Structure 1
């Protein structure tokens, strides 16, 4: 695989042609070469695209390749929802077959058949299921609100698990949101919605696109910076 030298960093990438995409995307994942996807281009053009995002790639690699934490979730741990972290209570409940997660107004409650602690990899699907339910309940309603506010119209909205993105606007103007959007604050959630609605008019991140975003969401820079801290992929 080709390698780009950026200062002291060697960026290895692989290219995945996808004629359905209108622009190129870079995805950074733990322990894997950078993935570049999009319309077919030469190796020289691939390198130029990777070089264009080299600083961002280096920052995201440093983030995603940090040592994994193996801390179990126990009573007193905190889980994130809507921009806040909430006290979590883990209850040993032998009579159930699988762990369960519920949320009250002030805390998460995890019922676990195997003890009073639960590993992060076991809590992750429970939390995503919670996010998915809340997204159907709340986020899709906010999409309709922002359509009325901006006058921008999608051809539908749905919740979808992405490997490396917060949200997407398809070529047919269908908006898709990762369940994890619900861990973000409501302001950032609104920004993600408006960002994708603006893609119904401007498909690329052009000056016209950002002008449209600023028109409908003047304080967009702060929530955008919050998303930049995430390890998800980014459009080139």
Structure 2
């Protein structure tokens, strides 16, 4: 696989041609070469695309390759929702068959049949279910709100699990959002919604696209910077 030397790090990448995509995407995952996806291009063009995002890739590699946490979630741990972290209480409830997660206005409560602590992988599954439920309840309402505000119209909106993306607007102008969008602050959620609505008009990240985003969200750069702190892939 080709390698780009960027400062002190070597960025190894693999290219996955995808004729259905109109632009190129970079995905950074733990322990794997960087994935570049999009319309077929030459090796030189691939390198230019990777070099264009090299600083972002370097920062994301440092983030995702941090040592894995092996400590479990216990009472006093904090879980993220809508840009904030909330106190979490883990209760040992022997009479249930599987762990459950609920949320009040101020805390998460985890009921666990296996003890007063719960592994991170089990919490991740519970959290995604929670995020999915809240996304159906709240995020789809924000889509309708921003359609009214901007005059931009999608063909529909739904919640979908992606491997490495926050959201997408497909060729039919259907908007799709990862449940984890509900981790983000509401201002950043709105940015994701408006970003995808703008793709109903401008499919690529052209000057016209960013001008349209700025028309509806003058402070989009600050919101975009907040989104950049996440670990999902990014469009070039």
**Where on the TM-score scale, by shorter chain, does this alignment land: which range?**
over 0.9
TM-score, normalised by the number of residues in structure 2: 0.98
The alpha-carbon deviation at position 46 of structure 1 amounts to 1.1
Match of 1:127? Answer: 127
Match of 2:54? Answer: 54
Q: C-alpha deviations, 1:43-89, integer Å up to 9, x for none? A: 12111111111111111111111111122111111111111111111
The alpha-carbon deviation at position 141 of structure 1 amounts to 0.7
5 Å-filtered alignment, 1:1-236, equals 1-236=1-236
Q: C-alpha deviations, 1:98-146, integer Å up to 9, x for none? A: 1000111111110101100001111001000000000000100110010
| Structure 2: segments with no counterpart, 5+ residues | none
Distance in 2 between the 1:76 and 1:93 partners? 17
Distance in 2 between the 1:124 and 1:89 partners? 16
Q: C-alpha deviations, 1:153-197, integer Å up to 9, x for none? A: 001100011111111111111111110111111111111100110
The alpha-carbon deviation at position 203 of structure 1 amounts to 1.1
CA RMSD of aligned residues (A): 0.8
- Give the total of aligned pairs: 236
